[in-house]
Amino acid sequence: MSTGHTVLDVEGLRMRYGDNDVLRDVTFRARQGEVLALLGPNGAGKTTTIEILEGFRNRSAGRVDVLGSDPAHADEGWRARVGVVLQSWRDHGKWRVRELLAHLGSCYACYSTDRVARPWDADDLVAAVGLTEHAGKKIRTLSGGQRRRLDVAIGIVGRPELLFLDEPTAGFDPEARREFHDLVRDLAARHETTVLLTTHDLAEAEKLADRIVVLDGGRIIADGTAAELARLIAGQDEVRWVRDGRAFEVSTADSTAFAFDLFRRYGDTVTDLEVRRSSLEDTYLALVRKAEVSR
Ligand SMILES: Nc1ncnc2c1ncn2[C@@H]1O[C@H](COP(=O)(O)OP(=O)(O)OP(=O)(O)O)[C@@H](O)[C@H]1O
């Protein structure tokens, strides 16, 4: 978990389209090296939030500070410190993978500092996103998942201090997903890159994020670690076991006490004990249902 300085500071952010409020009083922060996941149902306002933070969309009200600047008025030097991976990106079909990354990277060379050498070496970057064997291919010949890995490479070629990832692993196979997770953890841990990602994959959020912010109907309904969020909701664990050849299953709020009592009463006649704690998915669904009921 990061202890670095504040990189993202959002307070009272509002966005209104006509008379439709799509963001209402959104307030959160992220520190250097922190991985933050923005979760929420379709239409909750995730993309709108990150587009405002990226400087691609003007907000209606509120204060936004990203790497010390207001993105609505930030300059090219600021943009060079920010990496963006959008939901979809279609261009450059005739370019080859390594060639494109080397070309895009050259635009960042003048933004190198003593602390951050820019850009990322093209061969190292191609290897980091698992595209070495496709480095010489034309982009239009890549598969969907390979194209997505290239999108990630394009987002980080300038060695950003802050990286926005909008549903980054949509279309990834399990191996690519695992490698991508390792890459994001490595960017955060070794390079102190701050990462803000949106995803509908709750296992991904649980695995990757130091903190989770849940948006619903344009409002933040929860902000904390997966464990802190779980404590907001009185979740039920599932306990299963076998005794005398019979299978049993119960739901309980305190599976540790339940298992202790089970062994106290039945000793080693209990076998095949399984405890399934409530997952981030259970917590998330309960939070969203609760927010919808109270709306
Ligand atoms: N240009 C626009 N004009 C009017 N309304 C918009 C515009 N862009 C987004 N909206 C509305 O703002 C709300 C939030 O949209 P947004 O794309 O931020 O949601 P999201 O959480 O990213 O959803 P998803 O998970 O489906 O990608 C939605 O109700 C959407 O219809």
Which tens digit of pLDDT belongs to each residue from 143-201? 888 888 898 899 999 999 999 998 888 778 888 888 888 889 988 998 899 999 998 88
CB 282 within 8 A of CB 242: no
44 in contact with ligand 1, CB cutoff 6 A: yes
Rounded CA-CA distance 110/166 in Å is 27
> Looking at residue 293, what is its pLDDT?
81
Q: Which domains does the chain have, with CATH numbers?
A: 6-230 (3.40.50.300), 233-294 (no CATH)
Distant-in-sequence, close-in-space partners of 42: CB < 8 Å, separation ≥ 6: none
Distant-in-sequence, close-in-space partners of 98: CB < 8 Å, separation ≥ 6: 122, 123, 126, 135, 136
> Which ipTM value was assigned to this complex?
0.96
Length of the chain: 295
- Based on its alpha-carbon atoms, the radius of gyration of the chain, rounded to whole angstroms, reads 22
Rounded CA-CA distance 222/231 in Å is 11
Look at the block and give the residue holding tokens 């109907």.
Answer: 217
146 in contact with ligand 1, CB cutoff 6 A: no
> Looking at residue 3, what is its pLDDT?
58
170 in contact with ligand 1, CB cutoff 6 A: no
Which residue among 19, 26, 47 has the greatest number of ligand 1 atoms within 8 angstroms of its CB, and so is best to mutate?
A: 47
Task: Report which ligand 1 atom has the smallest distance to the Cα of 44.
Answer: 21
40 in contact with ligand 1, CB cutoff 6 A: yes
17 in contact with ligand 1, CB cutoff 6 A: yes
> Looking at residue 167, what is its pLDDT?
87
> Looking at residue 91, what is its pLDDT?
66
> Looking at residue 90, what is its pLDDT?
66
> Looking at residue 149, what is its pLDDT?
87
Please tell me the distance between residue 52's alpha carbon and the centre of ligand 1 in angstroms: 12
Task: Report which ligand 1 atom has the smallest distance to the Cα of 51.
Answer: 18
Which of 290, 294, 277 minimizes the C-alpha distance to 235?
277
Rounded CA-CA distance 168/191 in Å is 19
Rounded CA-CA distance 159/102 in Å is 13
145 in contact with ligand 1, CB cutoff 6 A: no
- 0.95 exceeded by pTM: no
43 in contact with ligand 1, CB cutoff 6 A: yes
Please tell me the distance between residue 49's alpha carbon and the centre of ligand 1 in angstroms: 10
Please tell me the distance between residue 177's alpha carbon and the centre of ligand 1 in angstroms: 26
Tell me which residues of the chain have a pLDDT lower than 50.
1
> Looking at residue 221, what is its pLDDT?
94
Task: Report which ligand 1 atom has the smallest distance to the Cα of 48.
Answer: 18
Please tell me the distance between residue 158's alpha carbon and the centre of ligand 1 in angstroms: 29
For the record, the structure tokens of 269 come out as 């006649």
